[in-house]
Structure 1
Amino acid sequence: MGINGLTIIGSEEWCVCEELNIPAIKARVDSGAKTSSIQASNVKIIQKGTEEWVRFEVNPLQENRSIAIPCEARVIGKRLVKSSTGIAEQRFVIKTMVTIGKDSFEIELTLANRDTMEFKMLLGREALNGRYLVNPNEIDLCASYTNGEIMDLYKPFINERTGLKIGLLASNPNLYSNKRIIEAGEARGHDMVFLNVEHAYMKLDASQPEIRYRGGNIIDEFDAVIPRIKPSVTFYGCALIRQFDSMGIYCLNGAEAITQSRDKLFASQLFAKHDIHIPITGFAKSPLDTKDLIKMVNGAPLIIKLLESTQGKGVVLAETNKAAESVINAFKSVQTNILVQEFIKEANGQDIRCFVVNGKVVASMARQATKGEFRANIHQGGTASIIRITQEERKLAIKAARILNLPVAGVDIIRSKKGPLLLEVNSSPGLEGIENATGKDIANIMIQAIEKKLKFVS
């Protein structure tokens, strides 16, 4: 006991919410917050007679979204709550019994999106007043559990499912990469569903955001989504990814990261800012600057790229200054944004593709352009072979993916007299060339990355 008969608790404590069927949830004790809250996803209002109830799911364990507890509670009100970032949002309020150590009492909880927070529950002043004193230097003063005891408590919930439900958000189910990812997920016991980007649509609502699929089916039971968005639907695809994220569904690559990777100018500026070496690159608006722009990147031969080009499309080699001037001014005349980049002659049409997953280079291949071509894209006739990359190249690939915040990325590097240079980063890298060249099961590695993130145990 502490002062005036109040119990001393630590800055973190285990709670039991029996009425919500939650056997143990670690709460952050925060006397600076007035209201207590609990993580809630898939929140839906339901009617029971004349009463308004709410149905929701709680992922009670930290960084483990493979366990979800279905909950129901009567709504006692709505409250405008300001988050730690200063953003005010309206939340449903419920009442429930909570047990901390030997003490059980009723508290009010707001239903909050705490997916990005370390703790899935927060105990505020209203729950603490008259009951506890907080010692911020201690944790688990009222109760403690081993990892084994926690997993025993959650066994009934783990046994209800044999695998994750994973959506593949793309456009063509017959592409090699998409088929391989579906196969790999199913081989690991997961429920894999192909979702066509253009067949999905969304409902924007603070209380009940939804994504629906053609025919009106609501998509809300996914544990994770793997985005593989083609360039022509980047805007709409990223809007869907943001919506999935707002519903508490883990997306292997985020919308902001994909958008940044598709904007070659912005990505190049980010790389330069973070001391990543790229071929000298120029960008200008007026045709009056064309000659100096060419000179700035060391003259012809040089590369001209459309800002949103992918897979070697929209990339031109200009072999003379006059040809470069004509192509650049032609693009500018139709208001098309382009980058002008120095040509690395010593690479001899070869570049390196590093496949990065969760901060590790899991496979690398060398791509060689066919005779007479300058780009080594496999789908345009280039050849691929396994290669041993240097430590410097490995670090470059990992750093580039990290700067764009991409858990999965295809990082293209070119060898030059100045050392390795970053060409670009692809947020939806193909699997066929690198799997065939290296013999590695990249699709399986991607599925394992999701399992690790969600702490899924088969």
Structure 2
Amino acid sequence: MQKLILGSEEWCGFPQLGLPTIKARVDSGAKTSALHAVNIAPFQKEGETWVKFDINPIQKNQKTIIHCEAKVVDKRVVKSSSGYREQRYVIQTDLQLGDECWSVEVTLTNRDSMGFRMLLGREAMSGRILVDPEQKYLLGEPTTEYLKEVYQKAVAQRTGLRIGLLASNPELYSNRRIMEAGEARGHEMHFLNIKECYMKLDAVKPEIHYRGGKILDNFDAIIPRIRPSITFYGCALTRQFEAMKVYCLNSAKAITQSRDKLYSLQLLLHHGVDIPTTGFANSPLDTDDLIKMVGGTPLIVKLLEGTQGKGVVLAETKKAAESVINAFKSLNANILVQEFIKEADGKDLRLFVVDGKVVAAMQREAAPGEFRANIHMGGTASVVKVTPEEKRIAIKAAKAMDLKVAGVDIIRSSKGPLLLEVNSSPGLEGIEGATNKDIAGEMIKSIEKNFKWK
């Protein structure tokens, strides 16, 4: 077989990855070939490990991005020319050089600091290539106009949206399901760790950067799933994406007001949504009347800053209620005092609202020996048939909070259904498990429906 003669620098392509051409350093001193890649993320496909990644194929050009995925054939430690050891994913894909094309193994790594996006090592060249180190571009060199044209076509072939999931834990069931649902519908899904994002405030060109300096400027939509402990920073990032004209499934304003328990209850009442009788006071001197205001004991004491059922106390006697309220007040903690719905018998409802429609509902029941302090405290979940009135309340509540996606908690009382809380980042595991419905898919469909191509 006649061998192909290459110079020390050449242009090659990876047709299976959708890369029409990329400049490579031809290095017979390097054993392994390496391809520039960022946002590298493994996933399962038909029981096998695959990896998705982004490539900026043109040096010093961060705007042109090709989204790729390939089957992982290995994961190995590679020593760079500087002596740094790094564990990399290895993929196998076709390499195009001139009129020749053959399968090669390539490692994926961030080569932003290197002079070439591609390094062609001797394993990929063995038996096929001779290198003349004094020559360059023996196979030809594309013009700037040609590069612009071929990469515009390559990017235009993308039919799905590029969606970022802004959250904290990629292993959380809800986050994994959303990623899977988006990929199943043909979208580019990327997990964005809130703590690894930072922003530039600028009137002309606001930016969000990701750890390592990557600029997040090419997303079509963002799904914010912000845990309560980082509401302030997560909402700041969401506002920044909105300033960059990126569609956000739930807005920063809606998430912020949903996390303010007192304001959200006032907002719901303003929109005609009934809640358990609730009291709020600033001074311990008003404790006695505060207790009377909500119908006496037993009653619920809730910390305004409490999250996920924490900071919630059931006071069964007046003495206990006074003690708990005054203890919180002595710490300058803001609290709500709320009537206890005894007839609910430790049960409440979670209605999942997407785009103004109840897509699933379940009943939650406290474990034996526990109380449900007018909120979800664990226990078991089961399918439930909700009434038209309960659906109406859930839809009205989500609309009042301006949330496209909401978990609405309702309790059944002798006065009728009462709203307890509206969650802007509701979990999927319990309700998908109980109802066997693809709620993550409904969230992706909402983005498709509401997103407008720029």
Class of the TM-score when normalised by the shorter of the 2 chains = 0.5 to 0.7
The CA deviation at 1:313 is 1.6
Separation of aligned partners in 2, 1:164 and 1:379: 35
Compared with structure 1, are the counterparts of its residues 280 and 426 closer, same or farther at alpha carbon in structure 2 (3 Å cutoff)?
Answer: same
Asked if 1:264 corresponds to 2:261, the answer is yes
State the alpha-carbon separation in 2 of the partners of residues 259 and 417 from structure 1.
32
Structure 2 distance, partners of 1:279, 1:411, is 14
Any idea what the Cα deviations from partners look like across 1:177-207, whole Å, max 9, x if unmatched? Answer: 0011011111111111111111100000011
Residues 408-427 of structure 1: matches in 2 within 5 Å? 408-427=405-424
Secondary structure, counterpart of 1:186 in structure 2: helix
**Alignment match, 2:212:** 215
1:162, distance to aligned residue in structure 2 (A): 2.7
CA RMSD of superposed structures (Å): 2.2
- Equivalent residue for 2:285? 288
Aligned-residue offset at 1:315: 1.2
For 1:396, the aligned partner's letter is I
In the TM superposition, residue 372 of structure 1 has moved relative to its aligned partner by: 2.0
Which residue of structure 2 lines up, in the alignment, with residue 441 of structure 1? 438
CA distance in 1, matches of 2:156, 2:373: 48
1:184 equivalent to 2:214? Answer no
Q: Counterparts in 2 of 1:67-106, with a 5 A limit?
A: none
**Which whole-Å CA distance do the structure 2 matches of 1:423 and 1:261 have between them?**
12
Q: How far 1:311 moved relative to its partner? A: 2.2
Aligned-partner Cα distance in 2 for 1:395–1:298 = 27
Summarize the Cα distance change of 1:376–1:180 in structure 2 as closer, same or farther, 3 Å threshold: farther
Contact 2:411 2:420 in 1 (8 A): yes
- TM-score of the aligned structures, taking structure 2 as reference length: 0.65
Amino acid across the alignment from 1:263: D
For 1:140-289, what aligned pairs fall within 5 Å after superposition? 160-289=157-286
Do the aligned partners of 1:361 and 1:397 also contact (CA within 8 Å) in 2?
yes
Distance in 1 of aligned mates of 2:201 and 2:451: 26
Compute the displacement of 1:158 (Å): 9.4
The aligned counterpart of 1:352 is 349
In the TM superposition, what is the alpha-carbon distance from 1:233 to its structure 2 partner? 0.6
TM-score, normalising length: structure 1: 0.64
Q: Please tell me whether the aligned partners of residues 376 and 383 of structure 1 are also in contact (alpha carbons under 8 angstroms).
A: no
Q: Which residue of 1 is the match for residue 121 of structure 2? A: none
Which of 370, 391, 404 is the aligned partner of 2:401?
404
Structure with bigger gyration radius: 2
Structure 2 regions of 5+ residues with no counterpart? 1-61, 65-152
- Tell me the CA shift for residue 56 of structure 1: 10
CA contact under 8 A between 1:312 and 1:377: conserved in structure 2? Answer: no
Displacement after TM superposition at 1:157 (Å): 10
Please give the alpha-carbon distance, in whole angstroms, between the structure 1 residues aligned to 2:390 and 2:199: 41
Q: Is the 8 A contact 1:229 1:237 kept in 2?
A: yes
For the Cα contact (< 8 Å) 1:400–1:425, is it kept in 2?
Answer: yes
Contact 1:366–1:384 at 8 Å: present in 2 too? yes
* CA offset digits 1:72-115 (Å, max 9, x no partner): xxxxxxxxxxxxxxxxxxxxxxxxxxxxxxxxxxxxxxxxxxxx
Take 2:264 and 2:407, find their aligned partners in 1: how far apart are those partners?
Answer: 14
Question: Number of matched residues?
Answer: 305
CA deviation profile, 1:394-413 (whole Å, cap 9, x unmatched): 00000000000000000000
Cα distance change, pair 426–209 in 1 and its aligned pair in 2 (3 A): same
Structure 1 residue aligned with 2:314: 317
Aligned to 1:117: none
Counterparts of 2:340 and 2:267 in 1: how far apart (Å)? 21
1:312 deviates by 1.4
Note the alpha carbon deviations across 1:116-171, whole angstroms, 9 max, x for none.
Answer: xxxxxxxxxxxxxxxxxxxxxxxxxxxxxxxxxxxxxxxx8995213111100011
**Distance in 2 of aligned mates of 1:342 and 1:377:** 9
